[in-house]
Chains A and B, each alone.
Chain A
Amino acid sequence: MRQALDDIRVLDLADAMGGYCTKLLADLGADVVKIEKPEGDPMRREPPFLRSAPDGGTSLYWWYFNTNKRSVTLNLESADGRDMFLGLVKSADVLVETLPPAASIRLGVDYPTLRKVNSHLILTSITGFGLTGPYRDFRISDIVGQAMGGLMNITGLPHRPPCATGASQAYYMASMDGVVGTLLALCHRDATGQGQMVDVAMQGAVLKTVSASTVGYLVSRKVLKRTGLEYFRGVRDYFPCKDGYAMCSALGGSGADVMLDWMDSEGMAADLREERYAEVLAAMGSRRRMKKGFGKVAYVDPRRLGLYTHEIAHIQDVWAAWLKTHTREELFAGAQKRGVRLMPVYTAEDVAHEPQLIHRGFFTEVEHPELGAAFKCPGPPYRLAKTPCTMRRRPPLAGEHNLEIYQEEMGIPTRRLSWLKQRGVV
């Protein structure tokens, strides 16, 4: 079976910020060669670990972001190492690197240097703030990306500190801009033969997710704040139910009338049918009205809702009492049947048991013979009918492909290779 990128070779000098970028390229079929320091990549020491034991190459973090890659070790700090690196660059289509701008120049991993070696090369640089501007040399981490990119400020409860979204979202977004930039450059090269430099900034990548906050501010001059359990309309979206939590945006938005019918059919609507709640429920939006007009009624005008604080508190109490009588699954299925917006809040365990993902075969069995382990791993995020992503190889051991690449592909003699090994170059 062919794969979409099975004709390109990618050199991978990316840390955790760019790991997902090169993972996606590898899973789409590219020959991704991870260049590790002789002592092994720092990602190998990132938690969580298999059997929760941090020794012996058991990082599941490393596992997830390095499937389908090969690995060589190389000390870029040495002149011999840099020579070998240039040899690798000659036969590469893409280099993805996350070095700070000053380090990339010091180590010769910069575009002016590398395009002399390979003018077709696409060099994708992923940094915290980009290669230009006053903050280009800033130290970064995921939380700094989420903070400076505006995602963190709008995440959390109103009277509590802002909160980073879990699972390193700024790194994910930086990687996504990296992979999209790389593939755009590849399409350009398909047409022109020309390589180029792709400059990606984690901050810019995160910014894309918060246009409601940035463009929203420029238009309305209102600062979007953390709203906690209320997501869109100034009414609560988020409630405990019988076996966990449910996101129930139908209650306060399009479909509040449908939900009321549902509660009523189970004798749980309490007094919400009374006249004094009619106006506020209408202000929160009804599905029937939405079908007639379009859209606008689905979003509550907060100035109107501000007049109904007591009524809203009572309505939310009635909702909360009813939601407590149902499981997430009952609510989810029932809401789908009625065409209103309600979704379950899942833990990682719930995700692993989610029937739709299981039905679709999203989790694939993988093996790691050296660790004597086999387990299921989340699959690719998309399906390309003719060029599917497959698990071709488990993540590499450090330097596993030194011989294959240095000796067999680059033709470096055995004696030279052992000399380089003694000198700590590989």
Chain B
Amino acid sequence: MTLTSARLPLEGVRVLDFCWAVAGPSVTRCLGDFGAEVIKVESTARLDHGRMLPPVIRTGGAEVGALFVNNNCDKLGVTLNMAHPTARDIARRLAAMSDVVINNFASDALERWGLGYDDLVKVKPDIITVSMPLMGTDGPRANYGGYGTGLQAMAGLHYLTGFPDDPPLASNIAYPDFGPNPMHTITAILAALHYRNRTGQGQHIELCQLESTVSFGAVPVLDYLANGVVEMRHGNRAETAAPHGAYRCRGDDRWCAIAVFTDAEWDKLTEVMGRPAWTRQQEFGSFPARKEHEDELDRLLEAWTVNRDADQTMMSLQQAGVAAGVVQSGKDITETDPQVRERGYFLRLKHPEVGEVVCEDVTIKLSASPGKVRRPGPGVGQDNEYVYRQLLQMSEEEINQCYVDGVFD
């Protein structure tokens, strides 16, 4: 059924990328995986601090940040010190050859450098420009700075996460930087590319990271706006299911998530458990009854899971048709999960400085034009030669002068 062509879906699209940290580079990584030529602009005066995020891969004398290498796959790396007027000129020339110009600075730096939409449309009429301000460029909190986990807190997601008696919580991985903010930005860029394909028109896209993150918790906000109801966190429970939660299994920090929505699923769960007497009690005979006695239900179910292996619990429940899944760690996912292996979510790439590195592979599988991860995140200025000499056709003399003047710092 696959009609694989060699063509990648974004072939012919060039992206001039001023992104740094995590959320922005995640956007351009995806565009690169699917065929866009992404030119990542950095300066040795202000390197992408994403390069320093732990953990670090060390081989011999070289060291690189593993998350940077992963999050900047399929990009060309150039150095350009934007403090220098000549650098801004070169950036404008690159923009004139590009389809998308993107940044995720907190401030309007690109506009100040003369690289905003209104400037670039003069040199490239169908340009698509993208900015990802934290809060937007106007209003009482215009140009505020911040960070992913803080945004998650501000968007109300912490308040919806955790057990009722505990403080509000979040994961420790800056979720909005990997989830809503890059994914929404990619969506907007692809929609704008489609619009340009049929009308020849470019445009400016603004992703306000607060609005984007709030969208991932919009229903509780709507509940407040429409009803005045403030939804609180409820641990792992769900209004329409019982039992519903993570149940402790045998071993250190082993858990299995189980979700039972219907009476038929409850029946299957009790069958897997061998229909112990308690499951036949009236307190658990219907959904409303199970919901009413949920504390007791959770305690009894966990008394069953706690002596069982988490993987086996998942497998036996799944075979019976009950939604269940091991609460997997990074180790489980990368070492033992056969589904992850089969789908090929990780791959090894050759890195010029530190040898072999592991990166995430494409998760979205397109049958005719699949994405392809071709190379790990670039070294500082690794592709200056290609971009400045071949692409921009700068002369030897001009390039040397730029190095001397610190334009390529």
Contacts and interface: CB of A to CB of B under 8 A. Distances in A.
Contacts of B172: 154-155, 212, 224, 226-227, 230-232
Contacts of A140: 323, 325
Given A139-B323, A384-B203, 8 more contacts: A155-B170, A192-B7, A196-B369, A237-B149, A245-B158, A380-B211, A382-B206, A386-B195
Given A165-B171, A245-B168, A356-B139, A345 B226 contact: no
Contact of B145 (A188, A201, A339, A355): A339
Contacts of A129: 339, 343
Interface string B217-253: 1111111111101110101101111001110100001
B206 A245 contact: no
B368 A384 contact: no
B363 A156 contact: no
Interface string B323-349: 111111111111001111011011000
B3 to A, nearest CB: 7
Interface in B282-314: none
B136 to A, nearest CB: 5
Interface stretch (A59-67, A266-274, A415-423): A59-67
Contacts of B101: none
Contacts of A316: none
30 contacts: A2-B199, A48-B229, A130-B365, A135-B338, A141-B238, A141-B261, A149-B328, A154-B172, A161-B248, A162-B255, A163-B161, A165-B171, A165-B175, A181-B364, A184-B366, A200-B364, A215-B70, A217-B334, A224-B172, A228-B169, A336-B141, A343-B147, A344-B153, A345-B153, A351-B154, A356-B210, A375-B225, A381-B184, A386-B201, A387-B192
A191 B13 CA distance: 12
B203 A385 contact: yes
A343 B151 CA distance: 7
**A contact face: mostly helix, strand, loop, or mixed:** mixed
Contact of B360 (A211, A232, A357): A211
Interface stretch (B46-54, B86-94, B271-279, B390-398): B46-54
Contacts of B38: none
B155 interface: yes
6 tightest Cβ-Cβ pairs between the two chains A and B: A166-B160, A295-B52, A343-B150, A204-B363, A183-B190, A217-B330
Nearest to B136: A360
Contacts, number: 531
Name B's interface SS: mixed
Contacts of B261: 141
Given A176-B179, A214-B333, A199 B365 contact: yes
A198 B139 CA distance: 40
Contact of B66 (A147, A176, A216): A216
B339 A203 contact: yes
B329 A132 contact: no
A292 interface: no
Contacts of B162: 156-157, 163
Nearest to A368: B226
Contacts of B170: 155, 165, 231
A92 interface: no
Interface stretch (A75-83, A167-175, A257-265, A276-284): A167-175
A241 interface: no
Nearest to A290: B49
Contact of B191 (A28, A359, A373, A376): A28
Interface centre among A2, A132, A210, A222 (most CB of B within 10 A): A210
Most buried by B among A140, A196, A197, A379: A196
B363 A211 contact: no
A209 B173 contact: yes
Interface in A316-366: 336, 339, 341-352, 354-357, 359-360, 362-363
Interface in B167-215: 167-175, 178-180, 183-188, 190-195, 197-199, 201, 203-208, 210-212, 214-215
Given A166-B157, A209-B175, A360-B211, A218 B346 contact: yes
A133 interface: yes
In which size bucket is the chain A interface? 35 or more
Contacts of B100: none
Contacts of B174: 212, 231
A357 B214 contact: yes
A203 B323 CA distance: 14
A196 B366 CA distance: 7
A110 to B, nearest CB: 9
Interface in B103-161: 117, 135-136, 138-142, 144-147, 149-151, 153-161
B158 A345 contact: yes
A185 interface: yes
B358 A196 contact: no
A187 B229 CA distance: 42
Contacts of A147: 246, 255-257, 325-328
B329 A387 contact: no
Interface residues of B, number: 157
A24 B187 contact: yes
B226 A204 contact: no
Given A382-B207, A384-B192, A385-B204, A219 B55 contact: yes
A152 interface: yes
Given A186-B190, A201-B343, A383-B205, A152 B257 contact: yes
Contacts of A144: 257, 259, 323-325
B163 A163 contact: yes
A346 B219 contact: no
A134 B221 contact: no
Contact of A139 (B57, B117, B235, B322): B322
A225 B365 CA distance: 30
B55 A220 contact: yes
Given A4-B194, A295-B52, A52 B207 contact: no
Contacts of B52: 294-296, 298-299
Contacts of B136: 356, 360
A157 B158 CA distance: 13
Contact of A378 (B208, B222, B365): B222
A112 B233 contact: no
A154 to B, nearest CB: 5
Nearest to A356: B141
A299 B381 CA distance: 25
A157 B169 contact: yes
A311 interface: no
B30 interface: yes
A15 interface: no
Nearest to A359: B139
Nearest to A302: B54
Contacts of A350: 156
A199 B225 CA distance: 36
A216 B337 CA distance: 17
